[in-house]
Amino acid sequence: MGEVLRHALAIAGKDLRLEFRSRTAFLSALVFTALVLAIFQFARDPTAVSAVDLAPGILWITFSFAGLLGLNRAFALERENRALDGLLLSPASRTALYLGKVLANLVFVGLVEAIALPLFAIFFNVPVLGVLGPLVAVIALATIGFVAVGTLMSSIAVSTRFAELMLPVLMLPFLMPPITAAVQMTARIFAGRPFSEIIGWLKLLVAYDVAFLVVCILVFEHTIEE
């Protein structure tokens, strides 16, 4: 168990070192996120609906797009020089490989979200500071589910034709439950609703995260073993 974690950390560390050396993917994801947020501002009628009503939806659609961008890199970077074979040759278990990739993706997507959130608060004048704790918790939970499934899907998508198109097609049905839960919870958090209104969605999200993490770990090896 400890070995799995050690290997996963080594793999995640390697991914993040490569990623932040080149920075292209990260900066692109950031700029893209800012752009999406800006476009949303002009994609609505400011007199008809207040920003706070639409805000949760906007936030989560933005996060989804940014996340999808980030997910593709994870296995794409193993294609150069067939580095994936090097990983498979090593004693590292397939589970360690999956977890390492999930960790690296979590850091990547998490950083994009951490920068996008203040931007969102500024653009739409949404008071997030007061509810930062619960909000971050919701973001973390939804991101875990999203990244767990997305990492697995990217492992499949990377070896198909049209990989960049394939990943969203595979992912989007799986995003419906966590995004729905996240938006509902975010809306209630902004509106200061009591916890009892949130707990149902919270349970759904946690159940989703646990169920999919477990199943993804179980089936991951079939996406890479020949």
Partner 1 sequence: MTAPARHPVLTVRDLARSFGPVRALRGVDFTLDAGEVLAIFGPNGAGKTTLLRILAGLLRPERGEVLLGGQSAVRAAASQRRRVGLISHATFLYDGLTASENLEFYGRLYGVSDPRARALAALEAVALAERAATFAGTMSRGMLQRLALARALLHEPDIVLLDEPFTGLDQAAAAALRRQLVRLREERRTVVLVTHNLDEGLELATHTAFQVAGRFVECAPKDGDAADYRRRYAEATAAHG
Partner 2 sequence: MTAIETAELSLRRSRALMVAALALLAAVYVRALAFTPVEATQGPAQKIFYVHVPSAWVAFLAFAVVGVCSVLYLIFKEPRLDRIAAASAEVGVVFTTGVLLTGPIWAKPIWGAWWTWDARLSSTLFLWFLYFAYLVLRTAVQEQGQRARYSAVLGILGALLVPFIHLSVQMFRTLHPQAVVLNPEGPTLPGSMLATLLFSLAVMTLLYTGLVWHRYAQAERDEARAERAADDAR
Q: Does 159 bind partner 1 (CB under 8 A)?
A: no
Q: Does 222 bind partner 1 (CB under 8 A)?
A: no
Residues of this chain, 19-48, that bind partner 1 according to CB under 8 A: 21-22
Q: Does 87 bind partner 1 (CB under 8 A)?
A: yes
User: Which residue lies nearer to partner 2 by CB, 63 or 212?
Assistant: 212
Q: Measured from the CB of residue 223, what is the shortest distance to partner 2 in angstroms?
A: 6
Residues of this chain, 149-168, that bind partner 2 according to CB under 8 A: 149, 152, 156, 159-162, 166
Residue 220 burial by Cβ neighbours in a 10 Å radius (0-12, 13-18, 19+): buried
Q: Does 172 bind partner 1 (CB under 8 A)?
A: no
Which amino acid appears at position 102 of this protein?
A: V
Q: Does 130 bind partner 1 (CB under 8 A)?
A: no
Q: Measured from the CB of residue 104, what is the shortest distance to partner 2 in angstroms?
A: 21
Of 183, 159, 186, nearest to 170 (Cα)?
A: 159
Terminal-residue alpha carbon distance, the chain: 25
Q: Mention every residue, 6+ apart, whose C-beta is less than 8 A from residue 117.
A: 59, 128, 135, 139
Alpha carbon of 104 to those of 74, 96, 97, 154, 224: distances in Å?
Answer: 8, 12, 11, 13, 18
- Residue from the set 25, 30, 92, 141 that interacts with partner 1 by CB under 8 A: 92
The 190-209 site mask, x for binding partner 2 (CB under 8 A), equals ----------xx--x--xx-
Q: Measured from the CB of residue 156, what is the shortest distance to partner 2 in angstroms?
A: 5
- Cβ atoms of residues 34 and 27 within 8 Å: no
Q: Does 85 bind partner 1 (CB under 8 A)?
A: yes
Q: Both tokens of residue 62?
A: 């933005």
User: Which residue lies nearer to partner 1 by CB, 6 or 193?
Assistant: 6
Using N-to-C axis directions, what is the helix angle for 94-124 and 132-157, rounded to 10°? 130
